[in-house]
Amino acid sequence: MTYPRIATLTALVGATLAACTASDQTPADTALNEVTFHANDYSFQGPDTISAGMTRFTLVNDGPGYHHIQLVRLDSAKTLADLETALKTPGMPPGWAVFMPGPNSPDPKGSSILTAEVAAGNYAVICVVDIPEMTPYFARGMVKGLTVTAGTGAMAAAPTADIVLTMFDYNFTLSTPLTAGRHVIEVVNTGPQPHEVFIMRLAPGKTLDDFGKWMATMEGTPPGTALGGTTFALPGVKSWIEVDFSPGDYALLCFVPDAKDGKPHLEHGMVQPFKIE
């Protein structure tokens, strides 16, 4: 089947990105940073400045659309305006725009949580979701600046995960099967391409095909529930997501456009159905 795009980087088809440099060891806050952003059609509300370090992002989706957070570190003294200009150009993104994962989309009126290491620098918080009109929401105003200042000490420890989810070309593997209840999942991209994970739970009797068709219009009752995940992560990057699972049929999906043919990775096999008993 052909899926419409969601959470893709339409402007970045064919991109190959420089290796992540998020681990620049700037001084960080020793406590876990807690940061909340709200998203709606079409803007973000949240802090303008945070401290560097291990940061737990809570994304509250005020809806009505799907929204997520893609962090983009702006190196070389580039600005939000420079990024907005660059994103209008198809093809390889400039090397100064370093894409880092944030919480992927929950359902409207839902929330999703992701923890990641954030280095000092100037960032953009953007939403790349583009359904149903296929215009990425960052082009409609979902771009917010975020200044990350150097902290004062060693960085807080990463969350303790009970499962590791590995993303690679082209699938996902789990260190142990997921079970009902709340899990802290370490998500790592072993590449070579960038990947994301979007977690969805299908409504009873509904299929992924139903979900793909619904995304084309987003009209009527959705055939499933979005449970977050991570947005676009470069090879080598880790993040930690917190997800509650109840019994049902689920899938892990990657919509990142392929470097070779531009098709979403799920069309290359990056779709992993699973069941929670």
Contact set with Cu ion (CB under 5 A): 195, 254, 256, 265, 270
Closer to Cu ion by Cβ: residue 4 or 121? 4
Q: Which is nearer to Cu ion, 118 or 252 (CB)?
A: 252
Phi and psi angles of residue 104, each rounded to the nearest 5 degrees, phi first: -80, 175
Could you write out the three-class secondary structure of the chain?
Answer: CCCCCCCCCHHHCCCCCCCCCCCCCCCECCCCEEEEEEEECCEEECCCEEECEEEEEEEEEEECCCCCCEEEEECCCCCHHHHHHHCCCCCCCCCCEEEEECECCECCCCEEEEEEEECCEEEEEECCCCCCCCCCHHHHCCEEEEEEECCCECCCCCCCCCEEEEEECCEEEECCCCCCEEEEEEEEEEECCCEEEEEEEECCCCCHHHHHHHHCCCCCCCCEEEEEEEEEECCCCEEEEEEEECCEEEEEECCCECCCCCCEHHHHCCEEEEEEC
166 versus 225: smaller Cβ distance to Cu ion: 166
Residue with tokens 């440099």: 21
Cβ 255 to Cu ion, closest distance in Å?
8
Q: Quick one: 59 or 256, whose CB is closer to Cu ion?
A: 256
* CB 88, min distance to Cu ion, A: 24
CB-nearer residue toward Cu ion: 78 or 265: 265
Nearer to Cu ion, 141 or 273 (CB): 273
Residue 144 or 265: which CB sits closer to Cu ion?
Answer: 265
CA neighbor of 265 nearest in space, from 73, 13, 90? 13
Name the minimum Å distance from CB 53 to Cu ion.
Answer: 28
CB of 195 to Cu ion, least distance (A): 3
Least Cβ distance, residue 263 to Cu ion (angstroms): 11
Q: Smallest distance from the beta carbon of 198 to Cu ion, in angstroms?
A: 10
C-beta of 3: minimal distance to Cu ion in Å? 13
